[in-house]
Amino acid sequence: MSTFKAQRGLSAISWLVLLTVVGFFGLCVAKMAPVYAENYYITTGLKSVAQQNAGNLKNMRKSEISRSLNSYYSINNVRSPGAKELEFQSTSRGMLVINRYEVRVPLLANIDVVMSFFNVLDTSAPDLCCDPPEELLESE
């Protein structure tokens, strides 16, 4: 019968450090996941407008696009102020529906996490929704 000369496993301090690290990352996920889920619904709304109005998306007015998006957001319970921040730019090929916003989430005490989102629907190429075109990224 052999005996162990050294102890195996984590000490109490090691467990405390491990639980602290896991707890911190769990807190980060719990605070930031709803914001990313909200952005997922915003991009899904843009894609939905593009799919439902595929034939006449180029001919839609700003108010019609806004109304369609607001209808989608109310049905899917999207309440983020970022969903309402729409900017319309006319181009030679059609119109760009730009949704650019930032969300600040308090993490711990006076530490905040700032998340930036930039979604673009190009009415001339609705199948390429919702990544911003290169020329918009370069102009920043």
Q: What is the pLDDT of residues 26-84, one digit of tens each?
A: 999 999 999 999 999 999 999 998 888 877 887 888 888 899 999 999 999 888 888 88
How many whole angstroms separate alpha carbon 25 and alpha carbon 42?
Answer: 25
What pLDDT score does 28 carry?
Answer: 95
- Are the C-beta atoms of 71 and 45 separated by less than 8 Å? no
Mean pLDDT of 119-140: 76
Coil, strand or helix at 84: helix
Q: Which two tokens stand for residue 89?
A: 């730019």
Strand-pair category, 111-122 with 86-90: unpaired
Q: What is the mean pLDDT of the chain?
A: 87
> Where exactly are the structural domains of the chain?
32-138
